[in-house]
Structure 1
Amino acid sequence: MFIDTHTHLYSESFDEDRDIMIARAQELDITDFVLPAIDSTYTAKMWDLKERYPESMHVMVGLHPTHVKPESLADELSHVENELALRKHIAIGEIGVDLYWDKSTKEIQKEAFAQQIQWAKQYDLPIVIHCRDAFKEVFEVLEKEKNDRLRGVFHCFTGTKEDALRAIDFNLMLGIGGVVTFKNGKIDTFLNEIDVKHIVLETDAPYLAPTPYRGKRNESSYLVEVADKLSKIYNISIAEVGEITTNNAKKIFKLD
């Protein structure tokens, strides 16, 4: 049994074969799918998918850092706030800081990140963090917002061992996906020094497909490739990887 803790199944990339792709994953005992938000334009598609698969799909709300724009920020944050008041979400995410695409919005990205963390604490929800070229900035915000209600997942973790330990100190799980299978991924060189109790599995589909599918469209069924790599890193069975990481996901997202 596995849980894909980060998958954009509502993406246009799956419009031609979404149900077939979900069935492929379910046949491999991937039972639950956590859907990260991007911005308000995807909200309806996420909830439509939840309505079609009510037991399997779990919806987040949030504003992705690459969609933090000065002209739309107020409206987008209002949308997040309204959604939190209207419906039950499993987490706030994906949120954070991305300085790969646009450094000019750094300060408003940090402000949006902090605001959404505050709502997460208010609603007692975990956060799911997106961080690209921005570990310093992400940790600065987390340091200011840290308290005993802060918890979540550091999505697509690609940092150093020191970054991993610091994230864990903020009560964050490490979201491990296809990058762990890449030859130049680097995290496989130290991950065995991080207790598997701090790890959840994810695909980030349709992005970051694992080896041997690298460069192709990612999908949730490829989660088994990530589990296989972790079984080798930790020298435990794939079944054990599934059991431990599933329990971790259930704990952080409060899944039954």
Structure 2
Amino acid sequence: MSSFAVMLTDTHTHLYSEAFAEDRNQMMQRAFDAGIDRFFIPAIDSGYTEAMYALEADYPKNVFLMMGLHPTSVKENFEEELAHVEEQFKRRNFYAVGEIGIDLYWDKSTLGIQKIAFKRQIQLAKKYKLPIVIHCRDAFDEIFEVLETEKSDDLFGIFHCFTGTYEQAQRALSFNMKLGIGGVVTFKNGKIDTFLDQIPLKHIVLETDSPYLAPAPFRGKRNESSYLALVCKKLSEIYNVSEEEIAKVTTENSKDVFGI
């Protein structure tokens, strides 16, 4: 993998996570050795902001930060959290507003405020002319409902960890979204591998979502960015093209979204 002419881009990885506290530098080296050299880092909430900045300071040429409020962190204090997000944007540049969206797997009772937070952050992305990175869990209809109200030429981004149907994929693409494909594509019951080849590769970006959702054969274990090579390999089988071609096209796609 490391002999690739084109390096891979992990468009979604929580490298600042406590899961990497013991071996972060070694984990990063494994990723570099596997041919991954660009890492886009989604935010969760204010509790992780300093850890994100520290990671960026350690790897300034490779780590690109997003800022946003994750839907599972949308609680009673969400206004304070959104104020924190807005304050960070006033202080410095980011490459996306994310990860944002709706998650009804953990808590359906917060749907109302999740929608408010999602919509407000989409508007923030438009203000700064940035992409959004969407988190969607058990919430396709609710996500699409909000996107419909914000649909415009300046709405674009990535549908992170896409696990929907072919029809939902088409709907996501209609909002100028690319599909973030990660470890789920290697799962026996992942389902997206059954139709992905009907989605042109120009709409796909690669991601790990590490430390979550490790691809087979590491399913259930801690995920890390070096495993992106396994996602790339699976996509080369699905699309029947070389791994180099997958790396080249998906990295170009990531540049289209993030502008770098």
Superposition TM-score tier, normalisation by shorter sequence: over 0.9
Find the partner of 1:244 among 249, 252, 257: 249
Find the partner of 1:214 among 215, 219, 235: 219
Q: Which residue of 2 aligns with 1:4?
A: 10
Q: Which residue of 2 aligns with 1:114?
A: 119
Q: Which residue of 2 aligns with 1:35?
A: 41
Matches within 5 A, 1:226-241: 226-241=231-246
1: distance between equivalents of 2:229 and 2:217? Answer: 12
Matched to 2:216, the amino acid is T
Matches within 5 A, 1:195-214: 195-214=200-219
1: distance between equivalents of 2:243 and 2:83? Answer: 42
1:97 lines up with 2:102 in the alignment: yes
> What does the per-residue CA deviation read over 1:169-208, in whole Å, with 9 as the maximum and x for residues that have no partner?
1000000000000000000000000000000000000000
TM (normalized to structure 2)?
Answer: 0.97
Find the partner of 2:152 among 130, 143, 147: 147
| SS of residue in 2 equivalent to 1:32 | strand
1:15 lines up with 2:13 in the alignment: no
Matched to 1:119, the amino acid is L
1: distance between equivalents of 2:27 and 2:189? Answer: 28
CA RMSD of aligned residues (A): 0.4
2: distance between equivalents of 1:167 and 1:114? Answer: 16
Q: Which residue of 2 aligns with 1:44?
A: 50
2: distance between equivalents of 1:109 and 1:86? Answer: 25
1: distance between equivalents of 2:203 and 2:53? Answer: 29
> What does the per-residue CA deviation read over 1:145-185, in whole Å, with 9 as the maximum and x for residues that have no partner?
11110000000000000110111110000000000000000
Matched to 1:145, the amino acid is E
Q: CA deviation at 1:47?
A: 0.7
Q: CA deviation at 1:214?
A: 0.4
Matches within 5 A, 1:59-78: 59-70=65-76, 72-78=77-83
1: distance between equivalents of 2:223 and 2:58? Answer: 22
1:55 lines up with 2:57 in the alignment: no
TM (normalized to structure 1)?
Answer: 0.99
| SS of residue in 1 equivalent to 2:80 | helix
Counting aligned pairs with the same residue, the percent is 63
Unaligned 5+ segments in structure 2 are: 1-6
